[in-house]
Structure 1
C-alpha cells in the first residue's frame, strides 16, 4: 500500500519499448512482473523482459491485426485475439500455440482470463461473448444481448461474473456459474471502451463520452461519475489493493483516481501518442502504458 501515492508518482520515470511495426492495441504484465506482453496491428505479439527492456520473443500465427492479449493469473500461458476471428492460447516459456479457438464469426476484440485461470472469455464484432474452459478449449457458454460490437471484457475477482462493454453504450453483467439473467448498466452516452473490476468489488467503465463510471455491480447503482478527460477513454486499471485507478485514452495523459472518494490525485503527462492500454503490475510498482512506455511508481 502506498502511504502517499501522489508523492511516489512525482518521482516516476518512464521507459519505452519500440519494435512493433503497427499500432499497439494491448499489453499485459506477467504475474511475476518479469515479462511484458504486447500485441499490435502488425499481426504479432512481442514478449519483453522488464528489467533489460530486451525483446525476448516475436510470436507469430495470427493472420490479421491482434486486438487483445493477456497472461493467465497463474503465469503459465497467455491468450490473444485477432481480426482473423480466432483466439489463440500460447505457452509462456516457448511461445508455443497450444490451442486455436474458432467459434467467432467476426473480429475478436477482447479476451481475458478468470482470476483462477480456469476460464477464458472472448468477444467482438459478432456481438457475442463466449466462455471457454482453458484446459480443454471447450466452449461452455455463449452470452448474447448486446446490440452492437463488444469491445472490452473483465472477470470479477471471484471469477463468478463477467462484465462486457459495447458500442451499444451499455455494460452487461453475465453469470459464469448460473443461468441468471444478465443485467445491463446504462448511463454512458457513447461507446463503452473499457471495463475493470477492483478487489473490493467495484466495476469501472470508460467511454467515448469522456467519462468513467464506477458501479456497484450487485445492484447496478452508480458510485462515482468521474470527469476530466478531454477525449475518448480507451483503458482502465485498478491497483492490486483497489486504492487507485488509472484511466487513459485519446487525450495523451493518464489520470490517477482515489477510489475512496472519486477524486483525481494526479495527472501523468508526456505520452507521445494515444494511450491504447494501461495496467498496474501485480505488485503495484509499475504502471504500464501502451504505446509503449511504463511509469515506475517506487
Structure 2
C-alpha cells in the first residue's frame, strides 16, 4: 500500500449512460471493456456498448429491482440478482437468459463467479450464501453462518475459498475444499460497522486488508468520510480503489 497520500487523478471526457427509470444499483464492465452492464431499480438490466454509449439491449425477466450484476471471468456469461429472490444467468453473445436460479427467500444482493467461470456464489437478505454450478444451474451448496444480510462475495484467485461480507460486521472465509455437507469457515471480525463490499487482490488479500491464510488484519484503509459501498483492486494488486457515499 502506498502511504504517501492521494495523488491527483487525470480524468478524461465523462460519458453518461442514460435511459434508466430508477436508481442504478450496480455496473460491470466485460473483461475486454467493450460492454457495460447497469442494473436498475426499474427492473431492467441495460447492456451498453462502452465506446459509443449505444444501448444494445434492455433485458427483461426480473420481477423487481435488479440489485447486482457481474460478468464471468471468461466473458461468456453474466449474472444478475434481484429483489424477486432470483439470480439470472445470461449468455453474453445472445443476451439470452440461460438459467433462473431459485433458492433464496429474500432479495439477492451479491453474485460472484469463480475464476474458472464454472461456479457462481450468491448471497442476500436471507443470510444465506448459495453455490451454483454455472453450466447446469444446479445448487451445489448452501452456506449458513452469517447473522444478517450478505452484501458482498468474492472467490479467492485459486478458487479454494470464498469470502462473504455481511451486515453482521463479519467476513467469512469459506473453505471450499471441504466436502459437503461439512462446511468450514474462518470468521474475520475486526470491523465495527456493516460490511457492504469486499474483494480479493490478485495475491489473495482482502479489504479491510486481511491475510486470509492467517486471519491477520494487515491494514485498515482510512480516508473515506462515509460508508464505503464499493472497492476493487487493480489486476496487479498494487492499487485499491474505493468509493463511498458523500454527505452534502
Q: TM-score range by the shorter chain?
A: over 0.9
Q: How many residue pairs get matched?
A: 240
Contact (CA 8 Å) 1:160, 1:177: kept in 2 or not? yes
Residue pairs, 1:281-296, within 5 angstroms: none
Equivalent residue, structure 1, for 2:123: 123
Equivalent residue, structure 2, for 1:109: 109
Equivalent residue, structure 2, for 1:287: none
Equivalent residue, structure 2, for 1:188: 191
Structure 1 residues 114-165: Cα deviation after superposition (integer angstroms, max 9, x where no partner): 1100000001011110000100111111110001111111111111111111
- For structure 1, the residue ranges without an aligned partner over 5 or more in a row are 1-5, 205-212, 253-272, 274-298
C-alpha distance in 2 between matches for 1:214 and 1:171: 12
Residue pairs, 1:80-119, within 5 angstroms: 80-119=80-119
Residue pairs, 1:145-156, within 5 angstroms: 145-156=145-156
Q: Alpha-carbon deviation of 1:251?
A: 2.1
Structure 1 residues 159-197: Cα deviation after superposition (integer angstroms, max 9, x where no partner): 111111111000101122324520110111110000100
Structure 1 runs of 4+ off > 4 angstroms? Answer: none
Q: Alpha-carbon deviation of 1:220?
A: 0.7
Q: Alpha-carbon deviation of 1:95?
A: 1.2
Contact (CA 8 Å) 1:229, 1:251: kept in 2 or not? no
Equivalent residue, structure 1, for 2:204: 201
Structure 1 residues 180-230: Cα deviation after superposition (integer angstroms, max 9, x where no partner): 5201101111100001001011111xxxxxxxx110011110111111111
Residues 154, 74 of structure 1: alpha-carbon distance in 2 compared, 3 angstrom cutoff: same
Equivalent residue, structure 2, for 1:220: 215
Report the TM-score when normalising by structure 2: 0.93
**1:242 and 2:237 correspond:** yes
Residue pairs, 1:18-29, within 5 angstroms: 18-29=18-29
Residue pairs, 1:234-273, within 5 angstroms: 234-251=229-246
Q: What secondary structure is seen at the aligned counterpart in 1 of 2:9?
A: helix
Residues 216, 52 of structure 1: alpha-carbon distance in 2 compared, 3 angstrom cutoff: same
C-alpha distance in 2 between matches for 1:221 and 1:15: 40
Contact (CA 8 Å) 1:169, 1:191: kept in 2 or not? yes
Contact (CA 8 Å) 2:225, 2:244: kept in 1 or not? no
Q: Alpha-carbon deviation of 1:13?
A: 3.8
C-alpha distance in 2 between matches for 1:107 and 1:7: 38
Structure 1 residues 64-97: Cα deviation after superposition (integer angstroms, max 9, x where no partner): 0011101111111110110000010011112111
C-alpha distance in 2 between matches for 1:188 and 1:86: 29
